A and B are shown apart, each in its own frame.
Chain A
Amino acid sequence: MGTRILTVEDDERIRTAVRLALEDEGWEVDEAETGEDALASFGAQPADVVLIDIMLPGIDGFDVCRSIRRMSDVPIVMVTARADTHDVVAGLEAGADDYLTKPFAPKELSARIRALLRRARTHEIASTHLSFGDLEIIPEEGVVLRDGRETHLTKTEFRLLIELASPAGRVLSREELLEKIWGYGYFGDGRLVDVHIRRLRTKIESDPANPRHVITVRGMGYKLQQ
């Protein structure tokens, strides 16, 4: 079965054009006009990547994002109006893995989707069992145990944890993480890292406000410790 992409977009012309462009890449495309349609479609047949326009009639893109996130850890790309608005952070906090601003080139979308699909293959990075105090990471199974209990991470969060865990104790800058995980260069959006770190902390830290494992190193980046 090929890769399925669900696009949620209320403008029919954009939806069609994007579908045509994505089909040219060899992917199967499901279309949804509203948030309700999207949830119904995803419930019936889960996609491998979901593309959501934030501005939707009815339930908005953030809600769709949250609802899908509750069902699945599928990679989500959201489409926002502007890169410098709060929409980006709100969307990432709602569970999106990456974002694009309108109008984007379909080539850019394809690149994002490919980066997200790569992320699912975490076992290429590390295969050994890693342990950080009360935290256990089993890369080949894609499982993280906190105090022996499994904590559910999305693929991006898991990849982020693995990247931080691999060079144990070393500080990784935002730029490095952006490049390794999202495939962005030096001028990528640091908020992608910051919001995902925040989300990761709520899942693996006993007190996310005072993290013990994922430490911010001021002016430098992040590191993982015992």
Chain B
Amino acid sequence: MTNPISARTRPRRRTRIIAPVRRRFGLRRRLILTLTLGTALLSIVLSIITFGLTRQNLYSQREQTSIDQAELDAARITGLLSSSTSPEGVQSALQAISRNESTEILLRYNDQWYSAPRSTFNSTEIPQSVSTNASSGTVAHEFGEVDGQRSVIVGVPLEQLNGQLYTATSLQDIEETLRSLTLSLLGAAALTTVAGAIVGYWATRRVFAPLQDVGNAAESIAGGRLDTRLPIGRDRDLDVIAGPFNEMAQALEDRIERDARFASEVSHELRSPLMTLAASIEVLENSKDEMTERAQTALHLLAADVDRLQQLVDDLLEISRFDVGAITLHREDVTAVEVVMQAVGILGGGKLPVTYDPDVTDVVIRVDKRRFARVMANLLDNAQKYAGGATEVTIDCVDDMVQIGVEDSGDGVSEEERDIIFDRFSRGREGGNRSGDSGVGLGLALVDEHIRLHGGKVWVEERRDGQPGARFVVELPIVEPPLTEEDENAET
């Protein structure tokens, strides 16, 4: 049994060393690297073994034939020298047994050295052990250098004569063969390594593709497409991930839907009493003049808060419908200028300036007009509540997007609040202050939802002219092509 403390600390120490490597390379790269190194190592080991065996084989073969040949030569020269012992006779005998370029012959006869003509074999090149053995009557051989070439040197005693025959057979052809073998083996090893790397790349890609799918699916879910699922049944092994993943996604979707449905049902339930309240207040307002001043004040308070409640219920219902994905857009192609002017005209009472460059005039956006009007209403409303009203609305083209800006001259929105301001029930610095006609904090969240559904973005930034104040920007994609002349005529 291991000490529980050491059992706990050991893996921790391991991870500390491995973690940076993991982080730097990632699992896939490490797998490819391992496979590549593995194949490289394997092919190098195999090459070395092949080379060694081949070399040994070729050498021992050459050794054997050299000995056999030298013994044969010794027998022949013994025969030849028995008839003629003159130096010329010795020379011609040597010439007779000289066979080819690769074998040099030296003869020691009657304490004299004889060599074949043009031979470069020199008695000093004979290894000590070979000459000693041959002199004492034993066939001997050794590898050595002859004229700078690696050779096998064989010494054969000439038994019936006083002498020894030495042959030196060059190993150059074998060396050359081995050199080209080395090159081939190196090439093969390199190819195998590359092949290993390729297989590694391909195999890991196959293995990691489902992981990528899981990642994409998770991202898609995080992005709000809650019905994203992984395909099941494509691969038994992958279903191990896909199954639980889909279950998790389903559970998440159910949970979110349940929450959203709850909000939706609550708002629905609130509508009937609100309806009664709104109608009753109107009836009361019709006979306001008959009321005391106190009652009138109370009625005014009631009316204002019923209005606010109604707005809240409306917003809540709308946003819960976004959450369950029950929103359908009725989109039309309209010019950005027209739809903005119309919205601002109705909401801003005709006093709010709308500025745009001439090049924006024909830009067409595809929007649900009533939702767009709601977006503009919420932005202008926001400016009204927190900055004393919008000062200007701008329309610009930036690449293939149109940007609609609503500027105010309030205190602006601080950097850290710029993201959270679009969260539900966030109210910036005024948060918590429910006096007066401050909103309920769903307006900007709804703007965000509406614009995202339209494939656009909304954010808040500094005013463009550097004056204090906020600039809310709605960015929507431009639709091609712009209106034709006929369309414009129809508008008149």
A residues with CB within 8 A of B: 11, 13-14, 16-18, 20-21, 24, 81-84, 102-107, 171, 173, 185-187, 189-191, 217, 219-221
> Which B-chain residue is minimally distant from A83 (CB atoms)?
B370
When the two chains form their complex, are residues A103 and B342 in contact, meaning their CB atoms are under 8 A apart? Answer: no
Cβ B346 vs Cβ A219 within 8 A: no
The CA-CA distance from A186 to B347 in the complex, in Å, is 12
Query: Would you call B268 and A81 a contact (CB within 8 A)?
Result: yes
Chain B: interface size category: 20 to 34
Knowing that A82-B321, A186-B342 touch, tell me 6 more A-B residue pairs with CB under 8 angstroms: A11-B275, A11-B276, A14-B272, A107-B282, A185-B346, A191-B330
Q: Are A220 and B490 in contact (CB-based, < 8 A)?
A: yes
Q: Which residues of A contact B276 (CB under 8 A)?
A: 11, 13-14, 16-17
Nearest residue, chain B, Cβ from A188: B370
**A219 to B483 CA separation, bound complex (whole angstroms):** 9
Residue in B closest to A185 when the chains form the complex, CB atoms = B346
Knowing A17-B275, A24-B286, A187-B373, the reply to whether A220 touches B280 (Cβ < 8 A) is no
Are A20 and B283 neighbours in the complex by a CB distance under 8 Å?
Answer: yes
Nearest-CB residue, chain B, relative to A19: B279
Encode B457-492 as 1/0 by CB contact (under 8 A) with A. 000000000000000000000000001001100110
Report yes or no: B282 in contact with A102, Cβ–Cβ below 8 A: no
Chain A residues lying within 8 Å of B277, measured Cβ to Cβ, are: 17
The 0/1 profile, CB within 8 Å of A marked 1, for residues 246-269 of chain B is 000000000000000000000010
- In whole angstroms, how far apart are the Cα atoms of A104 and B491 in the complex? 31
Whether A173 lies near B490 (C-beta < 8 A) is: yes
User: Which of A17, A103, A191, A220 lies in contact with B486, CB distance below 8 A?
Assistant: A220
Q: Do B370 and A187 touch (CB < 8 A)?
A: yes
Check: B274 CB closer than 8 A to any chain A CB.
yes
Given A173-B490, A190-B332, A220-B486, answer yes or no on A106-B370 (Cβ-Cβ < 8 Å). Answer: no
Q: Is A187 a contact partner of B343 (Cβ separation < 8 A)?
A: yes
- A21, A187, A221: the one contacting B490 at CB < 8 Å is A221
Given the known A-B contacts A83-B370, A219-B333, are A105 and B487 also in contact in the complex, defined by CB atoms under 8 Å?
no
Given the known interface contacts A14-B272, A83-B370, A220-B490, the answer about A24 and B346 at a Cβ–Cβ threshold of 8 Å is no
Q: Given A103-B278, A186-B342, A24–B283 Cβ distance below 8 Å?
A: yes
Q: Which residues of B have CB within 8 Å of A102?
A: 271-272, 275
In the assembled complex, the Cα of A106 lies from the Cα of B280 at a distance in Å of 9
* Smallest CB separation, A51 vs chain B (Å): 12
A-B contact pairs, 12 of them (CB 8 A): A14-B272, A17-B278, A24-B283, A84-B321, A84-B328, A103-B271, A105-B282, A106-B282, A106-B283, A185-B346, A187-B342, A217-B490
CA distance A183 to B268 in the complex (A): 28
- Report the bound CA distance from A24 to B342 in whole Å: 33
Q: Which residue of A lies closest to B488 (CB)?
A: A220
Give Cα distance in the complex from A14 to B286, angstroms.
17
Q: Which residue of B lies closest to A191 (CB)?
A: B330
Chain A residues closer than 8 Å to B274, beta-carbon distance: 103
In the complex the two chains form, is B487's CB within 8 Å of A219's CB?
yes
Closest 7 CB pairs of A and B: A17-B279, A103-B275, A220-B490, A186-B342, A20-B283, A13-B276, A187-B373
- B327, CB-defined interface residue at 8 Å: yes
Residues of A within 8 A of B330 (CB): 84, 190-191
The complex places the Cα of A82 from the Cα of B490 at a distance, in Å, of: 31
Bound-complex Cα distance A13 to B273 (A): 8
Set of chain B residues within 8 Å of A11, measured between Cβ atoms: 272, 275-276
**B108 within 8 A of partner (CB):** no
Inter-chain CA distance A107–B373, complex, in Å, is: 21
B369 in contact (CB, < 8 A): yes
On chain B, the residues within 8 Å of A221 by CB distance are 490
Residue from B271, B278, B279 having most chain A Cβ neighbours under 10 A: B279
A173 CA / B275 CA spacing, docked (Å)? 34
**8 Å CB contact of B279 from A18, A82, A84:** A18
B394 sits at the interface (CB 8 A): no
Q: How far is the CB of A101 from chain B (nearest CB, A)?
A: 9
Measured CB to CB, the closest approach of chain B to A124, in angstroms, equals 24
Partner of A189 from B275, B328, B370 at Cβ < 8 Å: B370
Chain B residue with the shortest CB-CB distance to A221: B490
State A219–B373 Cα separation when bound (angstroms): 20
Contact B280 A103 (CB under 8 A): no
Chain B's nearest CB lies how many Å from the CB of A187?
A: 4
Against A, the Cβ 8 Å flags (1 = close, 0 = not) of B349-372 are 000000000000000000001100
> Could you tell me the distance between the alpha carbons of A217 and B277 in the complex, rounded to whole angstroms?
44
Q: Nearest Cβ distance between residue A175 and chain B, in whole angstroms? A: 9
Q: How far is the CA of A171 from the CA of B490 in the complex (A)?
A: 6
B310 contacts partner chain A, Cβ-Cβ < 8 Å: yes
Known contacts A14-B272, A17-B279, A84-B327; decide if A186 and B369 are in contact (CB<8 Å). yes
A173 to B483, CA, bound (A): 15
Complexed CA–CA distance, A106 and B317 (Å): 21
Residues of B within 8 A of A81 (CB): 268, 271
Closest to B490 in A: A220
Q: Name the B residues within 8 Å of A186 (CB-CB).
A: 342, 346, 369
User: What residues on B are CB-neighbors of A13 within 8 Å?
Assistant: 272-273, 276
Also in contact, A20 and B280, with CB within 8 A (given A190-B330, A190-B332): yes
Q: Does A14 contact B283, Cβ atoms closer than 8 Å?
A: no
Task: Provide the bound-state CA to CA distance between A143 and B375, in Å.
Answer: 44
CA distance A189 to B271 in the complex (A): 22
Smallest beta-carbon distance B127→chain A, Å: 104
Which residues of chain B come closer than 8 Å to A185, judged between CB atoms?
A: 342, 346
A105: chain B residues at CB < 8 Å are 278, 282
A128 CB to nearest B CB, Å: 25
Minimal Cβ-Cβ distance residue in B for A24: B286
Please indicate the chain B residues that have their CB under 8 angstroms from the CB of A20 in the complex: 279-280, 283
Least Cβ–Cβ distance between A189 and chain B, in angstroms: 7
With known contacts A20-B283, A106-B282, A14–B343 Cβ distance under 8 A: no
Nearest B residue to A23 via CB reads: B283
CA–CA, A176 and B471, complex, Å: 33
